[in-house]
Amino acid sequence: DTGVSQNPRHKITKRGQNVTFRCDPISEHNRLYWYRQTLGQGPEFLTYFQNEAQLEKSRLLSDRFSAERPKGSFSTLEIQRTEQGDSAMYLCASSLVRGAIQETQYFGPGTRLLVL
Amino acid sequence: AQKVTQAQTEISVVEKEDVTLDCVYETRDTTYYLFWYKQPPSGELVFLIRRNSFDEQNEISGRYSWNFQKSTSSFNFTITASQVVDSAVYFCALVYSSASKIIFGSGTRLSIRP
């Protein structure tokens, strides 16, 4: 039973460059979430998908951020024109939602981004 | 407001001591879910426990136990006979029924000294 996987695990980029991260959820899970975690803080919600539909986006998700889940399986998170303030750990989680029951979200290992 | 407060930023104890991590939450929803996650130095968030708002029974799993009290809006976590491998950041978290996102506390860094 494979868990949530994320690639790359680490990314160093220069300010102004674009970066893209990938998340592969647990195979039968229909929901996929993105969170951002800065040093010393708890993760903060960015966005989530149910199957291929993006259902909610946080105000943290500026116009430079875009997320997709084209076939309801893996997801990508792209940051355009990166800024030093984008440096953080980007965490992906997935869950299986049936009806109104909130199931547990299982997290991947994260992608640590450093913008120079 | 929906909020999780972990007032203890850092705790350091000697191995084999018992330690309790505090968590206080705020929500207007009557249906909600509470979680604890562990984040070791590797960075991955590891799920520990999930409780729904209708189940106030305390739970024990090996050296871990959780005390859920709706009257004080608290969901505290106790590690008995702590071990060095318990060293990590622990997050308490809330999901309220009308939303899907997790609201995390700011975490408690637990250090177990040999």
State pLDDT tens for residues B7-47.
Answer: 999 999 999 999 999 999 999 888 899 999 999 988 899 99
CA distance B37 to B29: 22
C-beta atoms of B47 and A106 within 8 A: yes
The answer to whether residue B105 scores a pLDDT higher than 70 is yes
pLDDT at A71 over 90: no
Instruction: Tell me if the bond preceding A25 is cis, omega within 30° of 0.
Output: no
Chain B residue with CA closest to A57: the answer is B101
- Please compute the mean of the pLDDT values over residues A39-64 and round it to a whole number: 92
Within 8 A of A102 by CB-CB distance, chain B residues are 33, 95, 97, 100
Q: Which H or E run includes A96?
A: none
Query: Which one is predicted more confidently, A43 or B1?
Result: A43
The answer to whether the CB of B21 falls within 8 A of the CB of B34 is no
Q: Which of A89, A90, A105, A106 to probe the B interface (max B CBs under 10 A)?
A: A105
Other beta carbons less than 10 A from residue B114's beta carbon? 7
Question: How far is B47 from chain A, CA to nearest CA, in Å?
Answer: 7
Asked whether the predicted pLDDT for residue A1 surpasses 60, the reply is: no
Say what the pLDDT of residue B96 is.
81
User: Do the Cβ atoms of B97 and A35 come within 8 Å?
Assistant: no
Categorize the per-residue pLDDT at B98 as very low, low, confident or very high, splitting at 50, 70 and 90: low
Set of chain A residues whose Cβ sits within 8 Å of the Cβ of B107: 40-42
Amino acid A74: pLDDT: 96
pLDDT digits (tens, 9 = 90+) for B47-80: 999 998 998 888 889 999 999 999 999 999 999 9
Q: Is the pLDDT of residue A61 over 70?
A: yes
pLDDT at A2: 80
Chain A residues close to B41, C-beta within 8 Å: none
| Mean pLDDT across chain A | 93
